Amino acid sequence: MDLCGKVAVITGGKRIGRVVAQELAAHRMNLVLSYRGSKDEAEQTVADVEDAGRRATIVVGDVSKPADCLAIIAHAVATFGRVDVLVNMASIYRSKPLQDVSVDYWSTDLDVNLRSAFLCSHAAIPHMRSAGGGRIVNFADWLVRSGRPRYTGFTPYYVAKAGVVALTESLALEVAGDNILVNAIAPGPIVPPPDMSQEEINEVARATPVGHWGGEAEIAKAVVLLCQTDFITGETIRVDGGRHLA
């Protein structure tokens, strides 16, 4: 798909999402950025996109809520008249011992990490269909793509991201005839969490076959690939520096 002049909606446009937005703008796309609590970051991303000569807008919303997902897509259509790409990046990553996982904790993980991808996709697909096609990019995890929960304390997160892989495959089959391609990215060590020590950062780098963290740009490159492709669908691509091989 030629991205020039097309419209992309990105949920969770903080940190890595900002670089993804910059890269899509560099390919001459216009952007809609949703946020829940990071308005300043979203506005900074708008400025980045506008500096690249493209248009961008922000919309507040909680992607775990159906009405908000509908409103995000409606805002995109009202602003630009179309939705061509949906990048479901909204996610939470947290750890808790299994015995301390409450029903609310479980539900929040699945709502934000999985349910939101379904809700936003379900809202966007009719507009993509009427425009003759589109692209949906979801976000899973390298461990899930590799089929092994290597670390304890992440059961709700792991289950949710496994659901993202299944959702990606099922949606891809459902909408392939409408020229809507659905894929997912499974990131590995891309950007260290803010609370990670330097020794922990170095340890992860040593455990990664390429010997270093990936950086946000590697995710942005993968997003562009999955937006431009006309033949890849139902795939979950690991971007992990070979971490799954170690």
Q: Which residues on neighbouring strands pair with residue 86, listed in sequence order? A: 9, 136
> Is 151 among the residues known to form the active site?
no
Between strands 85-88 and 134-139, the pairing is parallel
Instruction: Give the integer Cα–Cα distance in Å for 125 and 161.
Output: 21
Q: Which residues on neighbouring strands pair with residue 138, listed in sequence order? A: 184
3-state SS class at 229: coil
Instruction: Give the integer Cα–Cα distance in Å for 165 and 157.
Output: 13
DSSP state of 97: -
Instruction: Give the integer Cα–Cα distance in Å for 12 and 90.
Output: 4
Catalytic residue among 93, 105, 157, 158: 157
Which amino acids are annotated catalytic?
A: 157
